Structure 1
Amino acid sequence: KITNDFSKTVRTADGLKSTGMISTETIERIIASIDEAKLQGFDFHNDLVKAVSTQALRVAKNQAEVVEAIYKSTGVKFEIIDGETEAELTLNGVKRRMELLNLCMDSFMVLDIGGGSTELIFVFYDEVVTKSFPIGIVTLTQSYSSLDEIRANIAQEMQEVQKFIFEVYANHGRVKLFLATAGTPTSVASMKLGMNFKTYDKDKINGTVLYHKDLDIEFKKLFTMSKVEKIEAVGEGRDDLIGTGMLIYDSIFIFSGMNESIVVDDGLVEGLLLEG
């Protein structure tokens, strides 16, 4: 049972593509977010804490220094988990929500779009096939000068993802369900349901069906918004990234041949909680 919840976009992968390092500014944002969580009732000194970091710290040249700096300032020690562990934890979180939604779990695909990477998980009964790709909403956004440029290059950027999906289909067949988790799908679902960042309700998000056409509808809405309106819609720190995430999401729809996806808020965090 979740008794307290806090979320903050810190963009750990900010600048990583060009420098290979986690910047001092990013470390300060992470520390500030932990301090903010403390003010909201989280006791990181007396409670049992499990803190993990994923792709950005996996590839950062200064990963050890970053972990140590955060620990010295906050007392929170981050564990850098590998892609396989990340996928396993995310899958466990998603499966728990699928059970609560009474969804068939015979065969399905999970999409998890992060800041520094995108994970795809295929489940065929007891067999799991997963792969992590170094394509995230932060790193991809910072590789190009505009969203139009990203759109023009997205097919090339996603070639390895397309190849992987086709290989999985060739070896195992198509999946019955497409599940999508993490910030991009949940933000798009929130926009579709008429919510914004402040009124976001994960209970309403869980199980929301997003059709492929919904992405185009919400993408067009996004283009009419000012920066302030985007921040109100999806939150500060995500406003300039959501378009990139939607292009990645759109590519998965195309490659998989699926017309609809089921959005779940549950993922890595819930998988960690289930691990205990």
Structure 2
Amino acid sequence: MKIRKFAAIDIGSNAVRLLIANVIEEENRDPKFKKSSLVRVPIRLGQDVFTNGEISKNNVERMINAMKSYRLLMDIHGVEGYMACATSAMREAKNGATVVEKIMKKAGISIDIIDGKREAAIIASTDLHNVIEKECDYLYVDVGGGSTEFTIFSNGKIKISRSFKIGTVRLLNEMVTETDWKDIEKWVKRNTKDLKRLSLIGSGGNINKLYKMSGTTIGEPLSYIYLNAQYQFLQSLTYEERISELGLNPDRADVIIPATRIYLSACKWSGARKIYVPKIGLSDGIIKTLYFETSKKEKSTSNILSF
């Protein structure tokens, strides 16, 4: 048995995460991925970018400090490799490339600003074997602050995937039009109309929180009826009450409502009445992508040296 450590940095529109994972290698077995540590800091880059077009000086400094901390944590854990991916907010920021350069210079962290297609592909690479059944169809919805990735699984394989510019921070700032909603609705309906026994798979911090709040047994799905009732309940509370009564973090108490709206809309458009929540997302996909890319390079080098 060999245990390897890899790290993923997910620079989203609502928060920045560091995931450190163990990869357990055993002869004649598929590698096992196990989360070791997760650190999340609420740097809401989307608030800057979607309203002012660029990341503010204050948040640039916060980003640099966060990356310095992540570098130290990765060193302490002894990770052998990392991949840092920035999504919607960073790719739309006028100063995105400049911020990436500053972080590399001051924190020694190399960041890739990935497009929506790449983001959707990485998310879709996550391990869903405990959820997906070959005879069923699924709409996988990953809700972020700036974008939402939709992936359709049929017969155990990815049928189609697409990223849309709709996210919790955009919705809070009223930057999503009725036309945007209609475009997503048409795409979902068109690509799910011939699918039967379709269920939703939800990922992202908000659906994870909703799942935890529900008290549902791990592995069991949420129902559309429950999610809709919870949506109405959350809307009946003030922002302050969601923090004091429900114990939500300040940066979760506002975005959880628009996130729930997106999941409910996806259910309505696709006809799904069950929502599975495997608690995986972009960070998990980055770990898998990094591990397999590293393994491929190692095999290639080994083959060259053997000649």
**TM-score of the superposed pair, with normalisation by structure 2:** 0.72
1:238 matched to which residue of 2? 252
Offset of residue 186 of structure 1: 0.8
Task: From the superposition, tell whether residues 135 and 253 of structure 1 become closer, same or farther in structure 2 (CA, over 3 Å).
Answer: same
Matched, 1:211 2:223: yes
CA RMSD of aligned residues (A): 2.7
Select 1:66's aligned residue among 95, 99, 118. Answer: 99
Which residue does 1:122 correspond to in 2? 152
Q: What is the CA-CA distance between 1:127 and the residue it aligns to?
A: 4.5
Give me the whole-angstrom Cα distance separating, in 2, the residues matched to 1:81 and 1:211.
33
Q: Is 1:262 the equivalent of 2:276? A: yes
Task: Indicate conservation of the 8 Å contact 1:9/1:236, yes or no.
Answer: no
Cα distance in 2 for partners of 1:44, 1:64 equals 28
Higher strand share: 2
Counterparts of residues 155-234 of structure 1 (less than 5 Å): 157-170=180-193, 172-174=194-196, 176-193=198-215, 207-222=219-234, 223-224=236-237, 227=240, 229-230=242-243, 233-234=247-248
Task: Please give the per-residue CA displacement for 1:145-186, whole angstroms capped at 9, x wherever unaligned.
Answer: xxxxx9xx7x6541111010122134x534633100011211
- DSSP 3-state at the match of 2:206: helix
Unaligned runs of 5+ in 2: 1-33, 292-307
Please tell me whether the aligned partners of residues 15 and 142 of structure 1 are also in contact (alpha carbons under 8 angstroms).
no
Give distance in 1, aligned partners of 2:69 and 2:197: 41
Per chain length, whose mean CA-contact separation is higher, i.e. which structure has more relative contact order (CA < 8 Å, sep 6+)?
A: 1
Segment of structure 1 superposing worse, 239-248 or 224-233: 224-233
Aligned residues, how many?
252
Q: Report which of the two structures shows the higher radius of gyration computed on alpha carbons.
A: 2
SS of the aligned residue for 2:230 comes to: helix
**Residues 1:43 and 2:75 aligned together:** yes
Which of structure 1's runs of 4+ aligned residues deviate more than 6 A?
none
Counterpart amino acid of residue 104 in structure 1:
E
| Structure 1 match to 2:120 | 87
